[in-house]
Amino acid sequence: MLPSLFRNLGYGGLFDATFLSGVAGVQVPQCLSRRDECYNLKNKLHLENTTIISATYVEPNSTVNTAGSCQSNATVTSSICRVYASVNTSSISSTKFELWLPDKWYGRFLTVGNGGFAGCIDYMNTDYGATEHFATVGSDGGHDGVDSSAFFNNSEVLVDFSWRAVHVSAVLGKQIVAEYYSSPVSYSYYLGCSTGGRQAYMAATRFPEDFDGIVGGSPAVNNWILASWQGIASKWIGAPDLSSPKHISAPQWDTIHAEILAQCDGLDGILDGIITEPDNCRLDFTSLACQDALNSTSCLTKEQLDVLNNIFNPLIGIKGELLWPRLDPGFEANDGWTALLSGSFAFFAEGFFRDVVYTDKFHNFDNFSLPDLYFSSFLDAADISTWSPDLSTFRANGGKYLTYHGHADSLIPAGISKITYDRVATNLSLSSLDDFYRLFLISGMGHCTGGGDTTAYLIGNAGLSTIGVNDTEHSVLLAIVHWVESGVAPEVILGTTPNGTERAHCRYGQRSALVDNIWVCM
């Protein structure tokens, strides 16, 4: 039986100082010593099923040792009280979290998500949030380590990964904040990408009162179809046999990318290495066919051309239903494609199917195909699918949801974010979700970030290193705060390239256009 806390599930540094301090009703007490308050915190806290392992004051610009096996140390940019805690989520599972409490706090609470199979506290974004004056919490998702082994024959750890770790760390984190600052949280936010994007969507559907504003990028929603599609895609290319006639080498991918740019880069009126609207790109690879049917770096065999046809078309089910969208042309420019199409069986699919779906460490993937997809979707262990379209309660509560997706994402195609938006709109019988839900498509960006020097992927979404310009138009984190607290919804997200140039990224339903050498949304 779950502890009572978890049965009751209802529940500037870089900022402009004026903007930050404008939270109505927040009184930030002036303590004689934040250091003393921090060290006293461990003895003051008595939280259900929770052990405060440590509470330590950390000076700014420090390097600290980290918990768990994922990394050995982390940077602390601003002065904080660092709280490390463990909570028993069931009799056979627990999750650990860190809460970083900045000296300068303006009533805001931030939860940061995980990536992949979780298992790692996101120290980069925890530092980001604390530096931006949020009391910031990050959990390990209910286990330690980057792989899926902790899920094997442990359904409770799987539940932690699916939804419970984020929820309980948010609930307990707010209680610690109230004790430390002698003031409750005024506004609660969430920031994550990939698995963190799935966690964002799960929070909005399952725990609509946890967060006032959510930023969830490149979401791994419809998770079982996603994992299955990744496995099927790796089989298309001959995994795990690098000598397979289907395998496409890295030099061949360079040739393919050059051909894709030749056909589609100029559709937006400028040759810049970025396909602004991949939906407008209709590919024809016949010019790449090897005339002598031999594999080489500059041409492709018939088997390899068939692979490209599969990759650049949606996955269709046995009844003709759309199962998963295609990869967008341009994805091949980003290094992330190697995780899916380099010749190994897809890591995400292998972990889920061996440790969760079949609970068989020696499961053979030679015949992995649509039947595996259908079975995993039917099973939907721990509700990991994260595919409910019902955001009605989140919307009724006044919640705001900002999501983004790279248009050159090599692991999770941007099409799934469009499908998600449309499903929510249909469920709510709305033609537009603009009053509470906005999706921004980031031209040229890969999975969660990156995309080269000409891509304006710096949007304040993943650590201090992703800040180009720190204001509400350029940062998704500041944009969600502005939307929640001032009622001003983001019309565009202005991304910044590593070289400092800007580009307007449009919300779903609009299109990017180059007008007088300036990117606008129409």
Distance in angstroms (rounded) separating the CA atoms of residues 189 and 173: 12
Can 194 be counted among the known catalytic residues?
Answer: yes
Strands 80-90 and 93-102 turn out to be antiparallel
CATH of the domain at 462: 3.40.50.1820
Q: Is residue 260 a contact partner of residue 275, using CB atoms and an 8 Å limit?
A: yes
Distance in angstroms (rounded) separating the CA atoms of residues 457 and 461: 9
Residue 26 to residues 29, 181, 219, 233, Cα–Cα distance (Å):
9, 10, 33, 51
SS3 state at 36: helix
Q: How many CB atoms lie within 10 A of CB 59?
A: 10
| Residue 284 covered by a domain | yes
Residue 186 to residues 13, 68, 171, 200, Cα–Cα distance (Å):
20, 31, 14, 20
Q: Domain end: 334, 363, 382, which one?
A: 382
Output the six-digit token pair for 290. 């090897």
Strand partners, 100: 82, 136
Distance in angstroms (rounded) separating the CA atoms of residues 495 and 457: 6
Q: Is residue 461 a contact partner of residue 193, using CB atoms and an 8 Å limit?
A: yes
Residues 298, 281 share a domain: yes
Residues 414, 367 share a domain: no
Distance in angstroms (rounded) separating the CA atoms of residues 506 and 490: 10
348-385: pLDDT as tens digits = 999 999 999 999 999 999 999 999 999 999 999 999 99
How much is the pLDDT for 334? 81
Selected catalytic residue, list 79, 194, 218, 512? 194
Output the six-digit token pair for 398. 């006044």
How much is the pLDDT for 295? 60
Residues 421, 324 share a domain: no
Q: How many domains does the chain have?
A: 2
Residues 232, 220 share a domain: no
Query: What average pLDDT is seen over the chain?
Result: 92
262-305: pLDDT as tens digits = 999 999 999 999 999 999 999 999 999 998 756 678 899 999 99
| Residue 407 covered by a domain | yes
Q: Specify the DSSP element, H or E, that contains 102.
A: strand 93-102
Instruction: Identify the residue whose tokens are 């359904």.
Output: 155
| Residue 122 covered by a domain | yes
Output the six-digit token pair for 458. 């710096």
Q: How many CB atoms lie within 10 A of CB 173?
A: 26
| Residue 195 covered by a domain | yes
Q: Which residues constitute the domain of residue 367?
A: 226-382
Residues 368, 391 share a domain: no
Strands 400-406 and 108-112 turn out to be unpaired
Residue 38 to residues 27, 64, 137, 413, Cα–Cα distance (Å):
18, 16, 16, 44
353 secondary structure, DSSP code: I
Q: 396, exposed or middle or buried, with CB in 10 Å at 0-12, 13-18, 19+? A: exposed
Instruction: Identify the residue whose tokens are 């595919």.
Output: 387
Q: How many residues does the chain have?
A: 522
| Residue 373 covered by a domain | yes
Residues 396, 251 share a domain: no
Residues 42, 107 share a domain: yes
| Residue 4 covered by a domain | no
240-265: pLDDT as tens digits = 998 899 999 989 999 999 999 999 99
Residues 189, 98 share a domain: yes
Residues 292, 324 share a domain: yes
Can 380 be counted among the known catalytic residues?
Answer: no
User: Which residues of the chain fall below pLDDT 70?
Assistant: 1-32, 293-295, 336
Residues 272, 170 share a domain: no
Residues 247, 188 share a domain: no
| Residue 482 covered by a domain | yes
Instruction: Look at residues 438, 451, 452, 444 and name the one whose alpha carbon lies nearest to residue 404.
Output: 438
How much is the pLDDT for 1? 35
| Residue 5 covered by a domain | no
Distance in angstroms (rounded) separating the CA atoms of residues 455 and 461: 15
Can 409 be counted among the known catalytic residues?
Answer: yes
How much is the pLDDT for 294? 63
Instruction: Look at residues 194, 161, 137 and name the one whose alpha carbon lies nearest to residue 382.
Output: 161
Selected catalytic residue, list 133, 167, 447, 474? 447
Residues 324, 419 share a domain: no
Q: Domain end: 349, 382, 415, which one?
A: 382
Q: Domain end: 327, 350, 382, which one?
A: 382
How much is the pLDDT for 338? 74
Strands 108-112 and 187-193 turn out to be parallel
How much is the pLDDT for 21? 42
Output the six-digit token pair for 320. 């003709």
